[in-house]
Amino acid sequence: MTAEEFLSYFSQDRFIKDLRARSKDGVLTEMSRSLAEDDDIRDPGLLLEMIRRRESLGSTGLGNGVAVPHGRSTAATRTKVVFARSQRGIGFDAVDGQPCHIFFLIVAPYDDQRQEYLPLLGKIVEAVSREKIREKLRAVSSFDEFEAVVREAMGE
């Protein structure tokens, strides 16, 4: 997957440079709301319900300040990703018990014909496994800066 292919799942409208939320559920709500006006999301309420259910099965807080809530839903017609960050950090039941600062919300249709969901999740996990990239993601203040960090993370 090239950086351009990876970045095609993101947009300025789905970039939250500073989350207002102060709780795990608040993060899920705020991030899912950024998808509410998207034509590829049929039912934002159903989408939020799916994300909450998925999270109740086990936290998607990876550790090292990163969380990647994700899931498949009939509310989505195309795979989309929301990026958000929190300078203060938010408790997300991460595996290391530390607050999360970097969030990627991935939503995909149930019928993922193009098989995008898992490779996309894998690329995100791979990118944030490097401390240098996590630090840069925590510092981005614009979508353009975010794109530059992604290109760097993908070796472009």
Q: Which residues are catalytic?
A: 70
Cα-Cα-Cα-Cα dihedral of 149, 50, 46, 48, to 10°?
Answer: -50
Cα 152 vs. chain centroid, distance in angstroms? 18
Cα distances (angstroms) measured from residue 125 to each of 39, 60, 82: 27, 11, 15
Query: What are the tokens at 107?
Result: 């939503």
Gap between the Cα atoms of 33 and 28, Å rounded? 8
Helix, coil or strand: residue 71: strand
